Structure formats: C-alpha cells, structure tokens
Chains A and B, each alone.
Chain A
C-alpha cells in the first residue's frame, strides 16, 4: 500500500488516492512529448534549430520562420498529438467496456462509418462543396454507423459479445461499400480517397486544430469522470450491477464518448489505425490496472505514437510526404513487442 498517496480533507467530504507511479509516468511522458514537440517543429524539408523554434514559440522570433512554423508545422504537430490522444483514450474506453483486449474503435464501426462518410463526400460532393466539410461528413458517417450497430445489437439490453459480432459484420459490409466506390470512381478520386483512408496529417491547418480541440477538451476529461465506473464494469456486467452500476446507461455513455473521440480524430486525420488498439496496452504495461491513471497515459502514448509517425512520414522519404497512417503500426508495434518481451518473466 506504500505506492499510494492519500489526500483527505478533515471533514471527509473530499478524499482521493494517488498512485505515485502514475504521476511519475505522466510527468515523464509529458516531458518527452514536449521534447518531441520541439523536435518535430525543427525537422522537416528545411531544418530549423530548436533554439529558433523556442524563440519563435515564445514570441521572440525574427519572422524568418513565420510561414514554415506557424502555418505549416505547428498546426500539423498539434493535430497529431490531439488525434493520437483521442484515439488512445477511445481505445482504452472500448477495451474496458467490451472487456476484450483486442477491442479498438474499429469494432464499433467508427472507422468504417467515417470512411463511408468521407468517401461518399469525396466521390459525390467534391468540387461542388468545399473540402472543409469533409470532417463533418466523416463524423456523421461514424455516428450513423455506430448507432446502427448499437441498435442492431439491442435485445433487452446490449451485451458486449453481440456488440462485437454486429460491429465486425457491419464494418465488413461498410468496407465492401468503400471498395466498390473506389473501384467505380476515376483514378484521381481513388487516389485521394485512398490517401484519406490510410490516414494523413498532410495539409493540416489551424481550422482543423480549432475544430478538433473542443472534442479532446470535452471528452477526455469526461472519460476521467467516468473512470470509477469503467473499473467496475471491467469485472463483468453481473458484478457491476451487484455493485450498483446502471450498466446499460453507463455503457451507452461510454460508447458515446468513445465514438466522439475516435470519430473526430478519424474525421481530421483519416483512418489512422493501430493507435487505438496499442496505446492502452502500452499504458497498462507501464502502470498496471488503474483506469483513472490510464486515461492520461493512453492519451500521451497515443499522441507520441502519432507525432513520431508523422515526423517519419514527412521526413524519411523527402520530398515525398507519406501518410502518417503507414507508420503508426511501424512505430507502435516494435515498442509494443519490446514491452511484451520485457514483461514476459514478470
């Protein structure tokens, strides 16, 4: 019990328990994120020294880097961190709610729905409607398809296994729709769609950052509030009911948060895969099982994976700018395997 710090007011109206390891890990990951933030601003097709980057950020820049930093790199890096954080937390919630370590936002149809929404938009409305509306089409698709999956799974309440099976079925159908539309459309449209499907932060602008920010700002803290309930729900529905959890309404709320987080990130960065699956696992390997602590850590890990993937994506094959989605698995998987390897004898 020594690894906990307990905070209590005298009246007993307020009491918390802090897990020391969690706070140390959060601190370390935050510092690492900051470091990564500076690094990703300095490297690219032209190198800017970290000192100039810090000068520019603190408002003492010479103006020389206004365009490269303020217009090109800064929004892109910020978006990378937000998207990764949203995906990490969305995956963490789903793995808890569905009680399956293989769950990821794809399972409840978020990615599939958003893809259909985005492809329909690219194929039918591009040119007539401004591209800035694409994220809205994607979010709409994600919302419609996940609602559909939830309703189809309903039978005097929703059980996790029915939700998963229905999700897999509907996602497969949606994938077929996407493939069919890709095959039937012109080459240029297909290329554009395919880039979006892989997930890319190319061309991220301040508008994207401002649009994504509220989702992260509202739903990640909300997850934090629901943390106690998720911990109990992870023991199974029967135990959770026994402990006084309103299982059905809480599950709906948690799924909603997860769809909102994953849906918004897919909308602004396309189908970046693997982060939602692996970030929560890495977080658990770092601090163990404590849902409240896992929320910030999954968010930080998710952000770090996408940020590194995007650095690699835009620098490794200069002048080519490869979609970051190609590298998220490439960055996340080796680290994941390393952690599994390190923990195997524990």
Chain B
C-alpha cells in the first residue's frame, strides 16, 4: 500500500481535462518529486492529492482510505500541504504562524496542550528558526520565510507532507537549504515527502522516486537513475539534452542542448 494512491483519477476545470484517468501510487517513507513542463498538470495533481481540488471522477486513497469519505480534519492529521507562494497576514509572528499548524489537533477546550507546545518547539528547532520566533513573517528573507511555512506544516505532525514548488523565487543557496531540510526530515523521521520541483537536476539529486507528468498522464515513474534519459526529457519537456552523471552525487545530470558560448573543454578553470 502506498502513502497516497489514485485510481482512475480525472481532473480538470470547466470541461477541459488536465489529468485523464490516472492510476498512481506514491511510496511511503520516500521523497517523490513531480516533474513536467509548465502547464502539464503536475501542480493540479498535487493539489488534488491534498484535496484542494475536487476530482471530476476517480478516487484518491490516503494510506488505503478514500480521502473523500474522511473528515477533513482527520485528513489534516495525516497529510499536510504547503501551497505555492503562501502569504501570511501582516505582522503575524513566526511563532504564531507555526502554532496554526496545530489546528487539526486542537479543539475549543483544548487550545494549547503540552503536546502542542512540544511539537511547535521541535518545528522551530528543525527549521533553525528559534531566534526568529518573535519576528514577523513579512520581515524575513525569502528563505527564512519559506522555512517558517515549512515549520508550520511540520507542526501539523503528519506522516505525509506535500509541497508545491517550495523552492520557487529562492536563490540557489536557499534552494539547497530547503531541500536539505526536507531530505533530513525524510532521513531522520521517515516522513513521506511529495513535491513539485522545476529543477530537474535537483529533483534527481533529492528524489527517490520521480513522477514525470506529460500529456494528461504519467509518462514514467521510478528512480531518477532508471528513468531519466535524453529520450524521456525530449518527450516530457520537448527539449533535447545530454544526460551525464553528477560528478559529486552520481545522480543523473541533464545538460540541455541549445545555444550559448563555447570555450575549450580540455582547459580547466582558473582556480
């Protein structure tokens, strides 16, 4: 049984289908990355897995249970979603934001249990935001802000975390920082992570499992080293490229063809 499964899932807006009759299984305890060209439906698929979008037909199973028949609060205890580009109200502090992640575990009479306090502290620690706890979210840099949102989803304490383009608008340093953080969460706490990423090379480096979405369906799914080929990139992204090995990590590295400057390849760079 996968962490998340879909059976004959069809998604779409106003008459046009975006995903057609999809059967997908997302493995438990692994990092899965959805890749695909702009507008291929990978974000739509992720949103529907998080019940932000109602399927036209078909079923989504959360650890074997049909999501549509579970109370939404119950789902929120098992699955967290960080949507693309969330915004916090002006003046909300990092700590206040993280606390909101406890919502599904609280009730009107139980607003702040010892468990709540413990989990929020853990989230602050894991995201290294302790010193920023009392700062307002809108005063933080892009990378810190994204970490604060991730901390909120961590406070939800779910086994499954979905993230829609968590590294968009971040510079390379902060992209790596966020992805390292998610990688650690998976390694240390065995959480299932499903995310949409644009950078294919980073996807190959961090994902155990890649789902390539193209033409309303899943083109291929599997370990990056098994499925990333020049032919696959050509079909999914309509781009010709060369696939080599990352010299440090050994994962597939995609070098696009196209134009650009050329320098002598035998010459090494000045150090």
Contacts and interface: CB of A to CB of B under 8 A. Distances in A.
B103 A244 contact: yes
A234 B92 CA distance: 10
Contacts of B80: 242
B111 to A, nearest CB: 5
Given A236-B87, A289-B91, A244 B111 contact: no
Contacts of A232: 100, 103
B96 interface: yes
A257 to B, nearest CB: 16
**Most chain B Cβ neighbours within 10 Å, of A234, A242, A243:** A242
A245 B52 CA distance: 11
Interface in B62-89: 71-77, 80-83, 86-89
Q: Interface residues of B toward A: which range? A: 35 or more
Contact of B111 (A16, A101, A238, A289): A16
A238 B86 CA distance: 8
Interface string A105-124: 00000000000000000000
Contacts of A231: 100
B110 A1 contact: no
A338 interface: no
Nearest to A96: B89
B190 to A, nearest CB: 21
Given A15-B113, A238-B81, 5 more contacts: A228-B108, A236-B83, A238-B47, A242-B76, A246-B72
B74 to A, nearest CB: 8
A345 interface: no
B104 A14 contact: no
B86 A14 contact: no
Contacts of A225: 108
A245 B87 CA distance: 17
A286 B108 CA distance: 25
A181 B239 CA distance: 66
Contacts of B131: none
Contacts of B47: 238
B95 interface: yes
A14 B110 contact: yes
A239 B82 CA distance: 7
Interface stretch (A5-13, A62-70, A261-269): A5-13
Interface in A231-264: 231-232, 234-236, 238-239, 241-246
**Most chain A Cβ neighbours within 10 Å, of B74, B95, B111:** B111
B95 to A, nearest CB: 7
Contact of B109 (A14, A246, A284, A290): A14
21 contacts: A12-B110, A12-B113, A12-B114, A14-B109, A14-B110, A15-B116, A16-B111, A99-B89, A225-B108, A232-B100, A236-B83, A238-B52, A241-B72, A242-B83, A242-B153, A243-B76, A243-B156, A244-B76, A244-B77, A284-B91, A289-B96
Contacts of A16: 111-112
Contacts of A15: 109-114, 116
B86 A288 contact: no
A99 to B, nearest CB: 7
Interface string A194-238: 000000000000000000000000000000010010011011101
Contacts of A17: 111-112
Contacts of B189: none
Given A241-B51, A242-B76, A236 B112 contact: no
Contacts of A246: 72
A13 B113 CA distance: 9
B156 A288 contact: no
Nearest to B116: A15
A228 B91 contact: no
B52 to A, nearest CB: 5
B93 interface: yes
A120 B138 CA distance: 47
B151 interface: no
Nearest to B108: A225
**Most chain B Cβ neighbours within 10 Å, of A234, A235, A245:** A235
B201 to A, nearest CB: 28
Given A1-B133, A245-B72, A228 B103 contact: yes
A113 to B, nearest CB: 28
B123 interface: no
Contacts of B112: 6, 8, 15-17
